[in-house]
Amino acid sequence: MSIIKLLTSSVGRKILMAITGLLLAFFMAFHLFGNLFLFVGPDEFNAYVEKLHSLGFLIRIAEFFLVLFVFSHAYSGILLWIKNRKAKRVTSSYSKENTSGAARSAAFTGSIIFIFLITHWSTFWYKFNVNLQGMTYYEVVTKSSVGFGSPIVSLFYIIAIALLGYHLKHGIASAGQTLGVVGTK
């Protein structure tokens, strides 16, 4: 079987979803660890961001792959969701008792997470890389209108992160099953 046939099959798309999802979860853990420097202090957080910036081209390569993983994960998810919706219309064996709420809402939570990512990249990434406007990185995150200085932005982040956790609840379990790490098959 060719790699193209595999990746366009349902099983191939599920494998791609599992691998990209796990890579994105690994990135999020690293990203969370770095953002915890916010709680250590302004100088430490600014030094952390400066260290990342000093990696230059390596960060641009990592960002390219991050965007590639996000889009391939989303694209595979959309295609599988469409295929599942069509299958549910044909068969009556589908039952809500067989799937968790996290699984049933994965398309919804994924859509909100995608909107969150676009917002996050267009604000923090842009500010950090293009237009600091005389602010430190710490000030951009904690005091600016694109950061947590805005109650609306803060609420949006809290909701998005909660939905991300719910999405991961299904995603990590599903990835383990797809990759044969957990389950009885």
pLDDT at 96: 59
pLDDT by 10-residue block (mean), the chain, 185 residues = 79 92 94 94 95 93 95 92 79 60 82 91 85 88 88 92 91 88 70
Question: What is the reported pTM?
Answer: 0.83
* Token digits of residue 174: 């599903």
pLDDT reported for residue 173:
87
How far, CA to CA in Å, does 170 sit from each of 11, 16, 104, 176, 182? Answer: 17, 16, 9, 10, 13
> CA-CA distance, 182 to 168, in Å (whole number)?
16
State both tokens at 146: 């694109």
- Cα–Cα distance between 115 and 100 in angstroms, integer? 23
Euclidean distance between CA atoms 171 and 21, whole angstroms: 7
